[in-house]
Structure 1
Amino acid sequence: MIMAKPEFEFSPTSAVPFTPCNPPIDGLSEAILARNEEDGTVTRILKFEPGTDTSPNGALRHDFWEEVFIFEGSFVDQRLNRTFRAGDWATRPPGMEHGPWVSEHGAKMFEVRYTQADASETGA
């Protein structure tokens, strides 16, 4: 049985410290709001400082779902040559290629990462 993320009532996000992401990129940090240590699901705020460039990591792909909402600032997706701004959102299934990004003025986004059991695991 998979355990859920911990239970929290409303708390100020300002009380959650930002720490470097893994792998580290200068100017990129995260505030982990909730994490399930068993399956790696995470709710976080991702912060790009002005001038952050994630090119050293290249394009990303991962084995989990990811939903992202930009609530402050903007960044340029270098692969797509498109700018995404506050109010934009994305839903990325496992394996979807995305990034790298450059943020001239900085950005913050709310992100939820989760896994989804297939029908054979749920009995559906």
Structure 2
Amino acid sequence: MGVGALLLCFSAPLAAQTALPPAPYADRQLDDPALEAKARDLMVTIRCLTCQSQSIADSNASMAGDMRSEIRQRIAAGERPEHIRAWLIERYGDWVSYAPTAAPILWPLWTAPLVLLALGGLLVRSRIRRRKR
């Protein structure tokens, strides 16, 4: 009886469904090549939420498949890629897009390398002047 109960405990999780069925356009392209090209161009610029190091066009994660399907459905419905990108950024945050934003809060990040280069140049210049004396 102990072995049967043990087998029953371990077999139940194996029979459970582990994932939902894939989204309709997760791995199926649109029939119109021009619309598919628009969708593909957008998918390449959107970061996968699961792996974060791949675009949703390259990722095999189920979340990336859902996002690909959503993009294809919206493109097929006539929505512009810029509008879809804005919706994704609004929903998931700025980091979902590989295209950098120019939001004022990020200006220090863009100017910091220039400031550091200028400070380094001033430091080198002052060292050279000291050695000449």
User: Could you tell me the TM-score, scaled by structure 1's length?
Assistant: 0.20
Greater RCO (CA < 8 Å, at least 6 residues apart): 1
Larger helix percent: 2
Point out the structure with max Rg over C-alpha: 2
Larger strand percent: 1
User: Could you tell me the TM-score, scaled by structure 2's length?
Assistant: 0.19
